[in-house]
Amino acid sequence: MNILDKIVADKRMEITGRRRQVPLEQLCEQARTAAAGPDFVAALRAAPLGLIAEIKYRSPSAGVLREPFEPAAIARAYAAAGAQALSVLIDETYFGGGEAPFRAVRTAVTLPLLYKEFVVDEWQIWHARSLGASAVLLIAAVLEDAELQGLLSLSRAAGVAALLEVHDETDMRRAAASGARLIGINNRDLKTFATSLAATFRLQALAPAGCTLVSESGIRTPDDIRRLRAAGIHAVLVGESLLRQPDLQQAVRNLMGAPGNGL
């Protein structure tokens, strides 16, 4: 069992417990009365290359990323530097995230927020909507076709975008067949944890026409940004390379270029 399989197995058990604490019917009611988040895809498409800046305390592969960890302050710095959207980790066990950090970020900024979680159950879609998320992450590698279709349909019904993450050619073909219009290409090899932008360029060719493409993981330098923008990628999701820098605003500007990431 690799780390992703372990995380997902633990997540399924976690959500079973959370459904007992907050029944689905109650959560749906909370979601219906919550304010909708801003349009996630429109925000990304409004820039030459959209930036989804990530907020997370730690990861299994990299350890602690930022200390002290102040989600609201991080969010405000990202917003001030011109990020189009923010990704906020929900998983607590492996990433140090949670509902409280997400709420702190939602209060601090008006940007669209991605509910960055290992979504395996409809409960999580409604949880995201109740927190004011604009989008949820779905990972093709951990979902069967029926689960994937069901969660995509439910996301549309709940009024949140679904960022469908793919890792290889099989994932991308499944994403295309699912009708997904927002696809994230993760540059991290699930077996070795090594990252390479070659994954984005390789899988881009298999993406359905007209979809919004996001490159994720291993994006560290202005040259990476130049290459991705030149290839026609619409947005990037960046966390570790920003979070390790003392000045977050300057880190974003150094990476993306200013103004308008016109590198």
What are the tens digits of pLDDT across the range 96-144? 999 999 999 999 999 999 999 999 999 999 999 999 999 999 999 999 9
- Catalytic entry in 11, 54, 155, 187: 54
pLDDT at 190 over 80: no
- Catalytic entry in 116, 178, 187, 240: 116
Q: Is 92 part of the annotated catalytic residue set?
A: no
Of the chain, the percentage scoring pLDDT greater than 70 comes to 97
More confident residue, 263 or 125: 125
pLDDT at 258: 57
pLDDT at 256 over 80: yes
Instruction: Estimate the share of the chain in helix, then strand, then coil, as percent rounded to the nearest 5.
Output: 45, 15, 35
Predicted TM-score (pTM) of this structure: 0.95
- Mean pLDDT of the 186-193 span: 83
- Catalytic entry in 122, 216, 240, 261: 216
Q: Is 165 part of the annotated catalytic residue set?
A: yes
Average of per-residue pLDDT values in the chain: 95
- Mean pLDDT of the 147-175 span: 97
Q: Is 217 part of the annotated catalytic residue set?
A: yes
pLDDT at 15 over 50: yes
Of the chain, the percentage scoring pLDDT greater than 90 comes to 91
Amino acid identity, residue 123? W
Stretch (H or E) spanning 16: helix 3-21
Identify any residues that bridge with 51 across adjacent strands, giving them in sequence order.
236
* Contact of 185 with 164, CB cutoff 8 Å: no
How far is residue 31's CA from residue 33's CA, in Å, rounded to a whole number?
A: 5
- Catalytic entry in 186, 187, 215, 261: 186
Domains, in order of start, for the chain: 3-256 (3.20.20.70)
- Catalytic entry in 59, 155, 178, 217: 217
- Catalytic entry in 11, 56, 155, 215: 56
- Catalytic entry in 11, 87, 130, 165: 165
pLDDT at 143: 96
More confident residue, 61 or 178: 178
